[in-house]
Amino acid sequence: MAPSNETVISFKWVEFHYDFRKPILEDVTFNVRSGSKITIMWQNWAGKSTIFKLINWELEKKSGIINVDKKLTIATGFQVVLAADKELTVQEFFRKYYPDKHQFNIDKQIAEILDVVNLKKAPLDKKISAFSWWQQARLLLAAALIQNPDILLLDEPTNNLDKEWIWHLTTFLQNYKKTVLVISHDADFLNSFTDWVLYLDVHTKKVEQFVWDYNNVVEQIKRNIEKENMANARLAKEAQAKKEQANVFAHKWGKLRLVAKKMREAREEMEDDMVDTRKEDKTIRSFTIPMQEWVGWVLLDLNSVHIIRQDEVVVKEIDYQIRKDDHLLLSGPNGIGKSTLLEKIVSGSEDGCTLGKDVKIGYYRQDFSNLDFNQTVYDCLREAATNDMPEQDLRSTAAGFLITWEVMKTRIWDLSEGQKWLVAFCRLVFLKPGLLILDEPTNHINFRHIPVIAEALDQYEWWMILVSHVDEFVWQVRIDQYLDLE
């Protein structure tokens, strides 16, 4: 571990691009000191994973200087389990990431780290793919922690976690004596332990450092944008006036031509003084989710559900009906079986559930596994849209979700988690469902999108089942019934 206050990560004038015509980072400069807790506040697709990969030496910079103390160990807590890791057992998974590859008996260390992430009863011979998504999120964090790294990189660590576990994670990070860099949009979580904020603007490709908390940074960036826009508008107006004057004098004789030349030079100086304007991250357009035609008054009867208590499956007797226009909030702690219940409703395999006939379900899964990752985005959306939908309407709707034609040609497999979210929600619009089922729909997205999504769901006039641990989001959505599985 590096001495306190020693610089452990340094970026100076760093530039990176996959395609030189589309730079991701330009002239990025910042320092990270040992033991600091840092929020990386990124706009959508601004290069957050790129920064982590440059720190990890997975990518090579195009220019500039990157210094990371090579005596220090680095571990990354990813958002999703790698495909190659899903068929590993718990023991094999941790052996892969344990720093001492030659140690034959690490079961004690595995047990200790599973206890830290509250999975102490996880069988060592169980495959990673057999765990729920919230359990996989904890396993990913545990895989990083078991390395006891000097520099811990966490990418959206609160996704798939309930409030109790977020509190445990916050406490752990507050007490962690080493360096931590966190990418997250959870303001309350970040404000509880981070020292300062790194902000990368997606338009200027520059990084700024702020010592305030997340909410203050958002407000300061907004004020900076307003100031820069006002200054640029003033300079542009003055430059235009100089240009018009120069054009008049340029046709005169003698000294007036010299005056015109000086005016042109003054105009060029003004244009040079105009700063690269920072812009707010783009927000998806307001949208509505069209509904399936009339399918009856009672859509869903729930007489019993299977839940998990103390690692055992038990049947809970209930009496719930989802009637016309009802919005149901399904709640309960991680591990009780919320996602499993949703999947069984969709598949029709929950014994105590009776679904109305010919109901079209729009299902948002937090792992996106109901999307075909081998399809292009265009094929995925076209498949969901009606056959007679004009091409122009399809592209216009997709553009409202920030899905460009370039993204449309991309395989879903190659998208970021945030881009997959945009595709999944756009697809719901094309499906015109009679029943919306949404499992943690705010994971993976920029906080600026949340009010837009909430408004669309609040106004949805047919049936909906929602699972979300984000209170600020739930409060903005009309909820008619509550079902607490606990």
Residues sharing a CB contact under 8 Å with residue 335, sequence separation 6 or more, in sequence order: 132, 134, 135, 308
Residue 378: the pLDDT is: 94
Q: What is the mean pLDDT of each run of 10 residues along the chain (486 residues)?
A: 76 80 76 88 64 85 87 85 85 83 72 81 86 82 87 83 78 88 80 80 70 69 70 68 64 58 63 54 84 73 75 77 83 81 83 80 88 92 87 92 89 85 92 90 79 92 87 88 84
Residue 280: the pLDDT is: 54
- The two structure tokens encoding residue 353: 């559930």
Residue found under tokens 């035609």: 293
Residue 477: the pLDDT is: 92
Three-state DSSP string of 208-220: EEECCCHHHHHHH
pTM for the full model?
A: 0.67
In angstroms, rounded to a whole number, what is the distance separating the alpha carbons of residues 38 and 47? Answer: 16
Residue 67: the pLDDT is: 92
Residue 383: the pLDDT is: 92
Q: Which of these, 211, 204, 268, lies nearest to 242 by C-alpha position?
A: 268
Q: Which of these, 356, 307, 312, lies nearest to 332 by C-alpha position?
A: 307
In angstroms, rounded to a whole number, what is the distance separating the alpha carbons of residues 461 and 325? Answer: 5
Residue 250: the pLDDT is: 60
Is residue 420 within 8 A of residue 466, CB to CB? The reply is no
Three-state DSSP string of 219-280: HHHHHHHHHHHHHHHHHHHHHHHHHHHHHHHCCCCCHHHHHHHHHHHHHHHHHHHCCCCCCC
Is residue 414 within 8 A of residue 406, CB to CB? The reply is no
